[in-house]
């Protein structure tokens, strides 16, 4: 059984751009976010309030939020790893924030410079403060189907971290296959384990496409009952320093698949695809969306 409607969450402006080596002008980031809203996106991860020394591309987070012409029915979210990030995000008037943990200790250290346990303690204060400000908090778990440093990760490790974030007050838990190594049966087993702790309707699939498995994995978890999907226009993303690392699954490819399955997403595929062609040209990148490529050559 498949859901009749899927909530799509656009990652392009954040996950898609965060590793770009050339600084993209703030105005172009703003234009990207506005085009994504015009394509029908109602949930857009716009930027990150993180250390500019760790992620230089996100240094203009406040300026992006200030320059954005906001559509009334769109939720604009930012990543906030600590209280400093949260204060910046609240001052910028974001609609929603997100904290990000990992199932792997080593990944946690490399990504946010603390242990999983320390990160959860830190997030507890971030979530409390966000809730006081009436701002909802999404929780991410990285390395859910494999870690670049530790290799195998068990579904139980992911379920435990997801459970902790959900109990602390995250309204939605997004499961990140950070390095895109997962395969469909593994994705099903993951969802089976995590949904024992967090209700199925609160789970999002955040799959990177490094090994070309993301669409197959999405189909597998749709069958399990997942109805929230993270994706990145033109498949933007990937680390220029990590060989073969790819962005999130391309939003165009997900929308095309959903349309074929008769699942509503609210997205306008031609408008989305032309946005993907436009941003790829701005970045001088090959469009990583197969559907985007196919539609642009017709």
**In this structure, what DSSP letter does residue 147 have?**
B
Binding ligand HMG (rule: CB under 6 A), the pick from 3, 12, 13, 85 is 85
Strands (E), 108-202: 136-142, 172-177
Expressed in angstroms, the distance from the first to the final Cα of the chain is 34
Query: Segment 3-62, which members bind ligand HMG (CB under 6 A)?
Result: 15, 18, 48-51, 54-55
Biggest distance spanned by C-alpha atoms of the chain:
52
Query: Segment 251-290, which members bind ligand HMG (CB under 6 A)?
Result: none
Binding status of residue 140 toward ligand HMG by CB under 6 A? yes
Question: Binding string, 160-199, against ligand HMG, x = CB under 6 A?
Answer: ----------------x-x---------------------
Distance CA 159, CA 177 (A): 14
For 44, the 3-state DSSP assignment is strand
Both tokens of residue 169? 């007050």
In angstroms, what is the minimal distance from the CB of 72 to ligand HMG? 27
Binding ligand HMG (rule: CB under 6 A), the pick from 26, 104, 142, 157 is 142
Segment interacting with ligand HMG, rule: CB under 6 A, options 110-118, 124-132, 249-257, 281-289: 110-118
Binding Mg ion (rule: CB under 5 A), the pick from 6, 9, 12, 15 is 15
Which candidate, 185, 186, 122, places its Cα nearest to that of 158? 186
Can you say whether residue 226 is alpha, beta or left, with left for phi > 0 and alpha for psi between -120 and 50 degrees? beta
The residue ranges that bind ligand HMG (CB under 6 A) are: 15, 18, 48-51, 54-55, 79, 81-82, 84-85, 100, 111-113, 140, 142, 176, 178, 206, 208
């Amino acid at each position: 059984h498949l859901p009749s409607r899927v909530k799509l969450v656009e990652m392009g402006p954040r996950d898609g751009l965060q590793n770009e080596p050339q600084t993209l002008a703030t105005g172009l980031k703003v234009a990207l976010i506005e085009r994504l809203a015009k394509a029908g996106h109602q949930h857009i991860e716009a930027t990150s309030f993180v250390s500019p020394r760790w992620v230089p591309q996100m240094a203009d987070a406040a300026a992006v939020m200030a320059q954005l012409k906001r559509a009334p029915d769109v939720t604009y979210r930012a990543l906030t790893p600590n209280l400093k990030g949260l204060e910046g995000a609240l001052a910028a008037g974001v609609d929603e924030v997100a904290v990000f943990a990992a199932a792997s200790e080593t990944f946690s250290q490399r990504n946010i410079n603390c242990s999983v346990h320390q990160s959860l303690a830190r997030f507890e204060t971030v979530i409390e403060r966000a809730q006081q400000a009436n701002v909802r908090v999404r929780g991410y778990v990285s390395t859910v189907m494999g870690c670049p440093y530790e290799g195998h990760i068990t579904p139980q490790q992911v379920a435990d971290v997801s459970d902790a974030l959900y109990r602390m007050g995250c309204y939605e838990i997004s499961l990140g296959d950070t390095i895109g190594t997962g395969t469909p049966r593994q994705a099903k087993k993951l969802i089976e384990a995590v949904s024992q702790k967090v209700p199925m309707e609160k789970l999002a699939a955040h799959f990177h496409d490094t090994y070309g498995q993301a669409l197959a994995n999405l189909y597998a978890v749709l069958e399990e009952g997942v109805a929230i999907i993270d994706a990145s226009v033109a498949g933007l993303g990937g680390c220029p320093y990590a060989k073969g690392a790819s962005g999130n699954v391309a939003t165009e490819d997900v929308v095309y698949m959903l349309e074929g399955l008769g699942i509503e997403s609210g997205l306008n595929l031609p408008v989305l695809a032309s946005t993907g062609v436009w941003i790829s040209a701005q970045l001088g990148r090959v469009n990583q969306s197969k559907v985007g490529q196919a539609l642009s050559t017709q």
